[in-house]
Structure 1
Amino acid sequence: MYKQHYSRFLNARPGLLHCAPHSHYYWPDVTREAQLEYWDDSAQYVDEKWGYLFSEKVPYVQQGIARLLNVPDPGQVVFAPNTHELLYRAISAFPYGKALRILTTDAEFHSFNRQSRRLEERGNVEVVRIPTEPFDTFAVRWAEAVASSPWDLIFISQVFYNSGVAAPLPKEWLAGVQRSDTIIMVDGYHGFAAIPTDWSEYADRVFYLAGAYKYGQAGEGCCFAVVPRDVTVRPEYTGWFADFASLAKSQEGPVAYAQNGMCMAGATIDLSALYRFSAVLAWWQQEGLTPERICAYIRSLQHAFLAHIDSLNDARLNRTTLLENGLERHGHFFTFRWGQGDEAAAEVAALAEQLKKQGVATDFRYDRLRFGFALYHNAQDYQQIRID
């Protein structure tokens, strides 16, 4: 239905069924001209490029993100090359040497998991990780943990990267936060532009981190945070973008910050990714591709995929080995786990390799095999999946 818009990526890899868009989504054709536009604008504006970008290009993408998330003020959106930079900038807002108590889950992406474990090595940082499984009790257990202590930082995904299961919405646990100065962050990377998301209820209190590498369809380099209006942060890890409007003023005395989301900005970055995402946003508007419409199409693909998997009668890939907690809010990928430990991991790797030889690209995380769904799929594509 939408394949014609991805012709360059599809033609570059003929015969491949790419079932890993949750890892790296194909870029639509419109992004190629956007990349060239960045080069041409750089040549035209040279020294004046940053003024042009921050007056024209950045606001357009801020407005697009605000529209997708129903965020009241586009100025709350700040960009960075990756979400990890934004995460650590928020952490650096805590006083140096302060003892920290962090609440999170055991299913966060590698970057946060690695960073939090490294922080624990300081000796004055405690990290409590709530197991996400069993999924049917997680919402209650998470809400109880939130309310159990005056946390400094709360960090949770919108959709867990290693299962596709959607986390409970903030409205289900936010009231339990004991302190007004707790930094609360939701990693929306597997939810943004996939799961219809209305952030207006949380825009004054909760950080939302995401980017265009996955369902934003614009590749790496265009990540962002929605910075809550009621939270004041002065990151120690800061750069000249964080007070862009005051560059011509005296740079002495206490370090000043922008009074909007730009307070979380860093320094010089390659904004070509922002051009690509700008082109994707324009294309979505032209096609009427809202998150609701995109999600409805993906749901139809997921049902077609499951119907095909049913017909295979395989002991490994079936509905009982699918990790889920209600497919109506599930992410845009499926995760199968039929065993645990090294033996199961070896079986997963072998099956992924078998599928690869058939021209089916999946990916796996230890003992979990993942299949993703994209706008450049049609329902009949899944007939290519065979289990010998």
Structure 2
Amino acid sequence: MSYQYLFARALAANRQRLHFAAHSHHLWPDASYDGHMEAWDDAARMADRKWDRIFGEVLPEAQRHVASELSLPDPATIAFAPNTHDLLVRIVSALPMAKPHILASDGEFHSFRRQAMRWAEAGRITLETVPLAELAERAARGGFDLLFASQIQFNTGARLGDIDQFAALAGPHGPWVVIDGYHGFMAQPTDLSGVADRLFYLSGGYKYAMAGEGVCFLHAPPGYALRPEITGWFADFDSLEAQLGGVGYAPDGLRFLGSTFDPAGLYRFNGVRRMLAAESLDTPVISRYCDGLMDAFAAARPLPGMEALPRAPRFIAFRGPDAQKWQERLSAKGIVIDRRADVLRIGFGLYQDFEDVQRLVKACR
């Protein structure tokens, strides 16, 4: 079985390339092209009035897709932004204390790591980081205002584990629990129905949602972070406070919106989700397909001298001193994988088939 027909444009754009970095820049399916063109057509046809359709139809559809994927009870808790960094900054800006104490794992992605380190340098926050394996124990001891952790760590694929145990610590007055789900969303089934009222969840379209940049989202639990200090004018539509001349906020997830943005990512995301539904491709089905590709690659043991780390959804990480050499030699053959220091990451997606895996194994050998 091959699903490459869904990615005809991206594959035809570079027929010599063998792309095994689906965990990074996932290739875009043809449906995303159609969505992108729909955004252009709407802008040409409606001009300024396009925002009526975006807020009346396009954004609500995207909210419903996210809520369906995560089993969220209310799509209105979803806000969108060009990147997760924007949303992180707004969450932290809503914390009421002068110098919040933030706990995180020591393997977080740069969108959190860099900003948190700079805040700590400036005295804006107190930052404590611990290995992922120690995070639950440290979190349970308390003493922090916000807990930040990745559902799947970007560098090694290590898994957070039971999200419920972290959500159980959360409360509207603190601590707030923020889960970075970028390597989990649409990579593995995720059910937040039981914790939707207690934790924040961040993700976006760049990876397994196959929709590219500019369509990141936040699920914000009701009653938490009601007035982000970092805010934009889209966050106060029709609020009573704004009508009275104050700084008002939407009562739902839209309180985290910023200002004018490029809506094309929303159109692409909706187009991809419609395509997946039409093809009967949900996350469990896609995961089983990609697991088969990963099994075939792992069984060949094609990277001697490299240690295979515990498998993540959709990518396998290998650690060893020759990681850079492996990447360089495969790149010279037109094969795209990526590396984080001494860790190689090889990612799998719908646009690959078993013939591609065989080509990769042959190239490694």
Do these two structures clear the TM 0.5 threshold for a shared fold by scoring above it? yes
In the other structure, the counterpart of 1:55 is 56
Deviation at 1:64, TM superposition (A): 0.8
In the other structure, the counterpart of 2:202 is 209
C-alpha contact 1:305 1:379 (8 A) present in aligned 2: no
Matched, 1:272 2:264: yes
Matched, 1:239 2:227: no
In the other structure, the counterpart of 1:282 is 274
**Per-residue deviation, residues 164-208 of structure 1 (Å, max 9, x unmatched):** 122112113433458842221000001101111001111111000
**Per-residue deviation, residues 281-300 of structure 1 (Å, max 9, x unmatched):** 10011111111111111111
Normalised TM-score (structure 2): 0.95
| Counterpart among 288, 297, 305 of residue 316 in structure 1 | 305
In the other structure, the counterpart of 2:295 is 303
Deviation at 1:277, TM superposition (A): 0.6
- Corresponding letter in the other structure for 1:355: L
- Corresponding letter in the other structure for 2:309: L
C-alpha contact 1:189 1:209 (8 A) present in aligned 2: yes
In the other structure, the counterpart of 2:359 is 384
CA distance in structure 1 between the aligned counterparts of 2:278 and 2:120, rounded to whole angstroms? 48
List runs of 5+ in structure 2 lacking aligned partners.
Answer: none
Q: How does 1:152-301 map to 2 (within 5 A)?
A: 152-177=145-170, 180-246=173-239, 250=243, 252-253=245-246, 255-301=247-293
Matched, 1:102 2:79: no
CA distance in structure 2 between the aligned counterparts of 1:151 and 1:263, rounded to whole angstroms? 24
In the other structure, the counterpart of 1:357 is 332
In the other structure, the counterpart of 1:331 is 313
Deviation at 1:15, TM superposition (A): 2.5
Matched, 1:45 2:43: no
Secondary structure class of the residue paired with 1:121: helix
Secondary structure class of the residue paired with 1:79: strand
How many positions carry a matched residue from both structures?
362
In the other structure, the counterpart of 1:25 is 26
Normalised TM-score (structure 1): 0.89
C-alpha contact 1:79 1:224 (8 A) present in aligned 2: yes
Deviation at 1:248, TM superposition (A): 11
CA distance in structure 2 between the aligned counterparts of 1:241 and 1:42, rounded to whole angstroms? 19
- Corresponding letter in the other structure for 1:333: F
List runs of 5+ in structure 1 lacking aligned partners.
Answer: 133-137, 339-343
Deviation at 1:354, TM superposition (A): 0.4
**Per-residue deviation, residues 132-188 of structure 1 (Å, max 9, x unmatched):** 3xxxxx1xx222111112311110001000011221121134334588422210000
| Counterpart among 344, 350, 358 of residue 375 in structure 1 | 350
CA distance in structure 2 between the aligned counterparts of 1:148 and 1:373, rounded to whole angstroms? 38
Deviation at 1:380, TM superposition (A): 2.7
Residue identity (%): 40
